[in-house]
């Protein structure tokens, strides 16, 4: 199935750009007329993925964060958040709740769990010393599902 619309953006891995990413994806998703809850879920999931890039992919330097998003005819929103940082050595372990590679005790290790709870599907591909791509999928409700006419 081909997307009906798509975008690509890139920005530096500065924590202040996390808000930009949330807003950009929310603006793109708005064409599907999502519910407030759906929009909040999307923004939070993207925020968690971007924060992972800022904190973990580039722990001691700035790098680039790339986001692409596509809308499909079945009202599915697919978002890919990618970095070319240090990579994840054990993706399965990294996706376990409370696991963190953060150097301080302030990180909760719940980023992937939050993403999984707010989207329909989360996939992570990573290579040590190379790129990591987090793919988030969320199918948005139809107009009839929102107003109860279905």
- Per residue in 71-95, is it b (16+ CB within 10 Å) or e — as a string? bbeebbbbbbbbbbbbbbeeeeebb
- Supply the residues annotated as catalytic: 48, 52, 107
The residues, ordered by sequence, that sit 6+ positions from 20 with a Cβ below 8 Å of its Cβ are: 11
pLDDT of residue 93: 77
Residues 47, 144: Cα–Cα separation, whole Å: 29
> What is the topology classification, in CATH, of domain 5-147?
Heat Shock Protein 90 (3.30.565)
With left for phi above 0 and alpha for psi between -120 and 50, is residue 4 left, alpha or beta?
A: alpha
pLDDT of residue 100: 64
Q: For residue 96, what are its two tokens? A: 């376990």
Per-residue confidence in pLDDT tens, the chain, 150 aa: 899 999 999 999 999 999 999 999 999 999 999 999 999 999 999 999 999 999 989 989 999 999 999 999 999 999 999 999 999 887 777 777 666 655 554 555 677 889 999 999 999 999 999 999 999 999 999 865 655 655
Domain ranges of the chain: 5-147
> Residues in the chain, how many?
150
Asked if 43 contacts 69 with a C-beta cutoff of 8 angstroms, the reply is no
């Amino acid at each position: 199935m081909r997307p009906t619309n798509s975008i690509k953006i890139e920005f530096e891995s500065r924590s202040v750009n996390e808000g930009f990413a949330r807003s950009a994806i929310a603006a793109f998703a708005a064409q599907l007329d999502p519910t407030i809850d759906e929009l909040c879920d999307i923004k939070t999931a993207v925020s968690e993925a971007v924060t992972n890039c800022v904190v973990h992919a580039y722990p001691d330097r700035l790098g680039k964060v790339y986001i692409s998003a596509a809308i499909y005819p079945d009202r599915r929103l697919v978002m890919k958040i990618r970095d070319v940082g240090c990579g994840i050595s054990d993706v399965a372990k990294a996706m376990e709740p409370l696991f963190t590679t953060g150097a301080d005790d302030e990180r909760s290790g719940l980023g992937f769990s939050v993403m999984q709870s707010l989207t329909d599907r989360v996939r992570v591909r990573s290579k040590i010393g190379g790129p990591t791509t987090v793919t988030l999928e969320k199918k948005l409700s139809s107009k009839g599902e929102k107003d109860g006419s279905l």
